[in-house]
Structure 1
């Protein structure tokens, strides 16, 4: 893992922990063109694991874990992430599979990101 990926992961982990009370157990980010694709495993809190047992609870958790994170990044400019990748964030796409407790976030930036997977980006 590159230093840039590690720094990116730590910021994403901190945001999730601050918002939901628990950060992911595992996080991995790869850079591809102008995107940072982040996989997060072990996201749910013990309370969420209990709540997901009902259909209403399942939907509530899914909505919170997708819409809430997207709204957070819209309202709070992710300057630290932008500094790391050297570009402005344009969009964030996020989803979570509640049953498997795995989430994916795709951060779309203005310019290609220099990194292990995209060493020629400018």
Structure 2
């Protein structure tokens, strides 16, 4: 299931952002799904990230974009897990080109899978 989530989110990124991450790792822990996406920045964003204002611009733009696509992301997780996503939290490290997403589920999925 973790692999399926990783593949689905990579595909969503490709369709939504026009580019997917280079590496994705998903872990299911209790009622959380933790996804780490690496290599997410475009070449233009890498150039922009060379100064502090560029870093802030990237973080703000990516946060806005992911917020606008949140219903799609929650739908992907629900479709794969059949669990309700109560909330999700995300942040990006522009310097490392990584994003972390934590999906908070209504139920303990890890317990159901064991």
TM range (shorter): 0.7 to 0.9
SS in 2 for 1:94: strand
Q: In the alignment, is residue 6 of structure 1 matched against residue 8 of structure 2?
A: no
Kindly report the root-mean-square deviation, in angstroms, between the aligned alpha carbons of the 2 structures.
1.8
The residue correspondences of 1:1-122 to structure 2 (distance < 5 A) are 4-74=1-71, 76=72, 78-113=74-109, 118=110, 120-121=111-112
Structure 1, unmatched stretches of 5+, are none
CA contact (8 A) 1:58 1:98 kept: yes
TM-score with structure 1 length normalisation? 0.81
In structure 2, do the counterparts of structure 1 residues 37 and 77 end up closer, same or farther at CA, with 3 Å as the change threshold?
A: closer
| Contact 1:92 1:107 survives alignment (8 Å) | yes
Distance 2:73 2:86 in 1: 10
Return the alpha-carbon distance in structure 2 between the equivalents of residues 10 and 77 of structure 1: 12
SS of corresponding position for 1:100: coil
Of 25-34 and 10-19, the range deviating more from structure 2: 10-19
Gaps of 5+ in 2: none
- Taking structure 2 as the reference length, what is the TM-score of the superposition? 0.87
**Paired residues of 2:9 and 2:73 also in contact (CA < 8 A):** no
Question: Runs (4+) of structure 1 moved beyond 4 Å?
Answer: none
For 1:41 and 1:10, how far apart are their aligned partners in 2?
13
